[in-house]
Every structure is written in C-alpha cells, then in structure tokens.
Amino acid sequence: MADSHPLALAQRPRRLRRTASLRAMTEETVLRPADFIAPLFVVEGKAAPDPIASMPGVFRLNLSDLVKECRALAKLGVPAVALFPKLDAKLKDDEGTQALNEDTLVLRAVRAVKKALPELTVITDVALDPYTSHGHDGVLTPARDDVENDRTVALLGRMAVLQARAGVDLVAPSDMMDGRVGAIRRALDAAGFSGTGILAYSAKYNSAYYGPFRDAVGSAQAAGTRLLSKATYQMNPANRREALHEAALDDAEGADILMVKPAGPYLDIIRELRSATTKPIAAYQVSGEYAQIHAAAKLGWLDLARCRHESLIAIKRAGADLILTYFAKDMAAALR
C-alpha cells in the first residue's frame, strides 16, 4: 500500500505553477510586438503578391502592397521591417552593378515606406547576393574561385551610403567580409550620415537553413543551384569562439547592434554574445526555421501556434533583444 504521508519538502517549485495567474506573475521572459523585425521581400511591377512556395504565408510584394503590409505591421506594434529585393535576372551581372543604381528597387522601396510611415524603422541588407549573376555576396576573384574581400568592401560602403541617402535607419551588412563594418561606418560618416546605424550580421553561419530565403530572392538560382556554398566567408557551424572574435571586431569597428544568424540552432552563440557585450543583440530566425515549423504543423506533428511562440521565447530567453522573424505579423497579432 502506498505511503500517504506528505513529503517533508521545504522547497516545492510547483507552488508557483499552480494557477495561471501565478504562472504569469513569475514568468521570466515575455514577448512583445516591439521585439520583432519583419523581413519583407519586394519585387517590381504591379502583380498581386507572389507566394513563396517554401515559406507558407510569405509573399514577394510590389511597392504598393509593401506599403500596405508595413502599415498593417505598424498597427500591430511591430516597430521595424527589413527589406530584401528580388530582382529580374536580366538586371544581374558578375559585379552586382545594379546595387549601385540610385534608383534600384530596394531604394525606391525605402523611399516609399518612409514617405508613408516615417516613424517605422527601415533596415536594408548590405550585400551583393541579390544583385550578382553568380549569387555570391561579393565580387569574385579573377579565378572565380572565391569572393574578393577588399574590392567587395569598397562596393558595400557605396551601397550603404545610397541606402542612407534613401532614408534607411539601419544598414545591415550581411556579407561577412573582413573589415566591412569599419569601412561602412567611415563611408557613412564621410557622407554626412553619422546618425545612420549599423546592424551587423556579426556571427552569420554557413547554414543549410537558408534555402527558402535564397529561393525568395533568387540568389541560389542565379548560380543554377539551390546549394550555393559560401564557406569561405560565412562561419563554420562548428565554431563558437570564432563568433566571439567576429562580434568583438564588429563592436570595435562601430556596429550599433550585433546579430546572430540563424537563431534557433545557435542559442548558445546568442547567450555567449549577450555575456560578452553591452550592445543590443539581434537574432535572425531564418527561412528554414520558419519553414520546418510550418511543414511539421501541416503534417499534424506539431502545434503551429505553440511551436511558433516557444521558438521565439527560446531566442529571447537566450539573450536576443531583437528578433528578425517571418512570424512577426502573426505573432504580434496573437500577443495583442
């Protein structure tokens, strides 16, 4: 017969889990719409929103629909958007010259959004992969076997100045070239844009989770494959200490916000950076993370709403102050 006498326990952690109100009172990590940055894809023309097959609920938007989406996000309390262009393949070349066109798609998108919603924070990607015919984040060496670091950095500085002139609040170098944050900071300051911030992709790993994003912007297809290796400039997923080194360099070169990408598989890196710096930490819940949650939910294996929330709570709990996520709109609506 079981012993019915209670255990003599001074500590019973379950006491504070007994009711919903007690659980709410002792909740350590809280998500808010203001924690989110919504990545948005923009295309030319007036066509209806173009669905991205590998990212359910995510669309490529023309300029008019982009502004409408930004209005909807702002009403839900999402404070920022990150814009990514999908260019016509005919505009791409080996040098990514369209990136330096003062009327290129993303700059027109910035101007349209800032005109309609001046208080919305607008972030733009500083990298050449949407513009190059080979899909890499910079210009290639003469042998075409690698990305040429220093020549690429010079182009990134010019890109950042154009983006600042269009009205962006934060430029976000995602290329992982050595020295690019310092070069961009100098270029911005010299052009009179000392108030434009830098959100640096400080620890961007050479991840298999980027596939749907490359479909969305057409960077992998530019090279004729979905599997485009960027191992000579993006970080080795096996490395932890290297992330601290990269982040320290970006910090010293003038980055205002440091970012880890991807987020979910790299929670330990987010925590490491949170312990190493007092600057804000961002994390990018990438397309593959988003897609796998949706895929498992579609098969009935996971609860979409609960897994969406839990995945984002984990990223914030690890130490991220800001989260780029394709769940931003739905999550903000659910929280409100």
The answer to whether the beta carbons of residues 66 and 107 sit under 8 Å apart is no
Query: Would you state the torsion angle of the CA atoms of residues 293, 299, 303, 304, taken in this order, to the nearest 10 degrees?
Result: 40
Q: What are phi and psi of 80, to 5 degrees?
A: -150, 150
Q: Which residues contact 167 (CB under 8 A, 6 or more apart)?
A: 110, 111, 114, 122
CA 28 from centroid of its chain's CA atoms: 25
Q: Whole-angstrom Cα distance, residue 59 to residue 74?
A: 18
* Closest-CA residue to 210 (of 262, 258, 259): 262
Give the long-range contacts of residues 144-147, CB within 8 A, separation 24 or more.
146/232, 147/177, 147/232, 147/233
Q: Whole-angstrom Cα distance, residue 8 to residue 49?
A: 63
CA 170 from centroid of its chain's CA atoms: 12
Active site residues per annotation: 204, 261
Q: Whole-angstrom Cα distance, residue 5 to residue 13?
A: 19
> Given the DSSP bridges, would you call strands 59-61 and 50-51 parallel, antiparallel or unpaired?
antiparallel
Largest CA distance in the chain: 82
CA 132 from centroid of its chain's CA atoms: 20
The two tokens of residue 197 are 């911030």
* Closest-CA residue to 233 (of 146, 145, 144, 129): 146
| Torsion sign, CA atoms 173, 179, 182, 188 | negative
